Chains A and B, each alone.
Chain A
Amino acid sequence: MARFIARRLVGMVAVLFAISVIVFVIFNVIPGGDPAERIGGRNQTPALRAQITKDWGFDKSLPVQYVDMMKKIFTGSLISYQNQENVIDRIKQGVPITLSLAIGAAVIWMAFAMVFGYLSAVRAGAFTDRALTILSLVGISMPVFWLGAMLLYFFTFKWQIFPTGGYVGFTTDPVQWFTHLLLPWLTLAVLFIGFYSRVLRSNMLDVMNEDYVRTAKAKGLSERQVRVRHVLRNSMIPVITLFGLDFGAVIGGGAIITESIFSLNGVGQYTADSIVNVDLPPVMAVTLFGAFFIVFFNTLVDIAYAWLDPRIRLGTAAA
């Protein structure tokens, strides 16, 4: 087990390094024009550009520039030239809001996906299944920002059932926290409900043909017991792997659109605002941290699996 973890961690460090190089290449190498002009934001002056060129070492060689950029990001001295704000501090402020959004949405999407997937699989071919299939395909085909805009328009403006965007801290007022977050949760969850219920349905249909399911039936378990205790439980394994990946992705930047639609002042909205202002340093930092977080999270999931299932840590899948 220790060897497996060590190998996995070495692999993780290599991937993190590759990711940081890619981020550097995306922002500093591929685009044309003067990099200082790109980073300087909208209110730049020639003096600021000269300052940036010096700060970032744009007159030096690429490897030196890379080291400078990483130093800036990891020592927390990255500054947005748009409003002279420290990027890392601003991201730290946004994290609790993004977490509130992601965790709530994850609870909703897993609950609905399990119910829909289960119903779809046990009623395969019947009307329920067809209706749920169409419904989940519609969910998958809907642009998230459009869904958010529609919910916002109808529920907060037209019918005024929910408060308009913004965020209220859980410790300030739990009820307000909940009503302010319900629509964003749903917006973020719909795509995943559609996707996960389809995956769960096809997993369940596969598992139903397994020998151990026949054995369970043969030993006299009721249909319901077989479905829940044997079929559903075993079908959830791949779904949970997917969940690990997606949850990491949502925290690592996937909630950008939902946050900006509902004016939740988390990491996502900060990114969205920075894009509008063509303020590159925050976009750089969020891209890097987002990808780092996902890789880190995936490594954790892998290690947890290896701990649960010896076949993984001993087999070739470990590489």
Chain B
Amino acid sequence: MATDPYAEPPVLPGTGDYAREAGIPPSEGAAIEGRSPWYLAYRRLRRNRIALAFGALFVVIVIFCLAAPLWSHLVAHTGPDDEHLTEQISINGQPTDVVNPTGIPIGPGLHSKFLLGADQSGRDVMVRLMYGGRTSLFIGVMAAIVTTVLAVILGLIAGFYRGWLDAVIARGLDVIWAFPVLLLGIALGTALSASGSGLKIGPISIPDDSLWIPILIIGFVYTPYMARPIRGEVLSLREKEFIEAAVAQGKGATRIMFTELLPNLWSTIIVFFTLNIANNMLLESALSFLGAGVRPPHSSWGSLISDGYDVIYSAPHLVIIPGIMIILTVLSLNVFGDGLRDALDPRAKVRLEAAALEESH
């Protein structure tokens, strides 16, 4: 019989053998101590070495990007936008042009300045990579927060009130869901970043080169993928006795939503949030590559690849390096998120990424 590698050691499903699951020897019998579901999840996660290793990798990447100013000031002595077109550095005692007369920049090498080489304008790739990563991570996390807040509010309202309110919200989500993610992102990105436009909703106006444009676009585009499952979960939780009890106690709708329903949604939210950051970063890179995402003066890993793509045949490192950073970051979040899901709900049948991962291409 086949077994799942992430599955539990033999605890029969549905037997409620939580003591054994928590690693307490069965002989203790009556002295079994109560364990919170969070503690059990933590124990399961701790056993999943692969997920933990990738989670640690993500932390390392975040620290790497946060350390950008340190590297820039203490090691490379140059900023992300400083051009060194006409300068020379010494490699193996030989003075070498940062960008040689035919326009080819130096590649990666063991020199404190230009550790990962230079780009076609003579800018330090290492410094640009670290600063670009800050933008990519910032957009990924902020957009995930936007998605989560929107999805939780919409899911709670639709699932709690049901009726016509639910019908309206559910249909609205369906319509947005009908657009391919990339196409909707492109449409919004192009419309909002075309000359002199920017976003205008009532009194709020955001200039066309602000990072908040891609953040709001990505956050909005992924909302149905999270709101639909949350709504489903609220619909089923709503039938449970504890909600009936809360209603009988005279609790108001807002209070029931936030003190009774929301705490039961946390595990779903956490898993989605993690996987969502990964998807956001991929979408951001694709939009930036096409020119509908991050716009100058900002740069992200996606726009670094886009810039480097023009000279890929003479300086492939400009494309390869930021690409590897994107893969490592997204992969670490995907594997960790996977482990998190298995830990929080070991019998999860719904493959969450089925909804969240559609066409990020």
Contact = CB atoms under 8 A, between A and B. Distances in A.
A256 B290 contact: yes
A249 B187 CA distance: 15
Contacts of B285: 143, 145-146
B338 to A, nearest CB: 8
B188 A26 contact: yes
B192 A140 contact: no
B61 to A, nearest CB: 13
Interface residues of B, number: 65
A121 B323 CA distance: 31
A153 interface: yes
Nearest to B328: A141
Nearest to A33: B196
A188 interface: yes
Nearest to A249: B180
A34 B196 contact: yes
A245 B354 CA distance: 12
A206 interface: yes
A141 B2 contact: no
Interface string B311-335: 0110010011001001100110011
A69 interface: no
Contacts of B346: none
A31 B192 contact: yes
Interface in B303-361: 305, 309, 312-313, 316, 319-320, 323, 326-327, 330-331, 334-335, 338, 349, 351, 353-354, 357-361
A278 interface: yes
A253 interface: yes
B320 A150 contact: yes
A153 B359 CA distance: 24
A138 B329 CA distance: 11
Interface in A7-31: 15, 18-19, 22-23, 26-27, 30-31
A13 B357 CA distance: 27
Interface stretch (A53-61, A82-90, A123-131, A310-318): A123-131
Given A37-B196, A149-B319, A23 B187 contact: yes
Given A121-B2, A287-B187, A143 B289 contact: yes
A108 interface: no
Contact of B361 (A153, A208, A254, A272): A254
Residue with the greatest number of chain B CB neighbours at <10 A, chosen from A254, A257, A286, A294 = A254
B351 A198 contact: yes
B313 A38 contact: no
A47 interface: no
A interface, over-half SS: helix
Contacts of B319: 146, 149-150, 153
Interface in B67-83: none
Nearest to A298: B178
A123 B171 CA distance: 41
Nearest to B199: A30
A15 B173 CA distance: 11
Contact of B292 (A146, A253, A275): A275
B317 to A, nearest CB: 11
B interface, over-half SS: helix
A273 B192 CA distance: 17
B334 A256 contact: no
A284 B313 CA distance: 33
A142 interface: yes
Contacts of A256: 182-183, 186, 290
A137 interface: yes
Contacts of B203: none
A223 B290 CA distance: 49
B4 A124 contact: yes
A163 to B, nearest CB: 15
Contact of B359 (A133, A143, A208, A249): A249
A31 B358 CA distance: 27
Nearest to A18: B175
B191 A202 contact: no
A38 B286 contact: no
A290 interface: yes
Given A26-B191, A199-B351, A275-B292, A191 B199 contact: no
Given A133-B5, A137-B334, A242-B354, 17 more contacts: A18-B171, A19-B175, A31-B192, A33-B198, A38-B194, A38-B195, A130-B5, A141-B334, A149-B323, A191-B361, A202-B351, A257-B182, A257-B290, A280-B190, A283-B186, A291-B180, A294-B179
The 5 closest A-B pairs by CB, nearest first: A31-B197, A146-B323, A32-B200, A33-B196, A141-B330
Interface of A: 15, 18-19, 22-23, 26-27, 30-34, 37-38, 121-125, 129-130, 133, 137-138, 140-146, 149-150, 152-153, 157, 188, 191, 195, 198-199, 202, 205-206, 208, 242, 245-246, 249-250, 252-254, 256-258, 260, 271-272, 274-276, 278, 280, 283-284, 286-287, 290-291, 294-295, 298
6 contacts: A30-B200, A124-B5, A144-B361, A146-B305, A206-B349, A280-B190
Interface of B: 1-5, 171, 174-176, 178-180, 182-184, 186-201, 205, 278, 282, 285-286, 289-292, 302, 305, 309, 312-313, 316, 319-320, 323, 326-327, 330-331, 334-335, 338, 349, 351, 353-354, 357-361
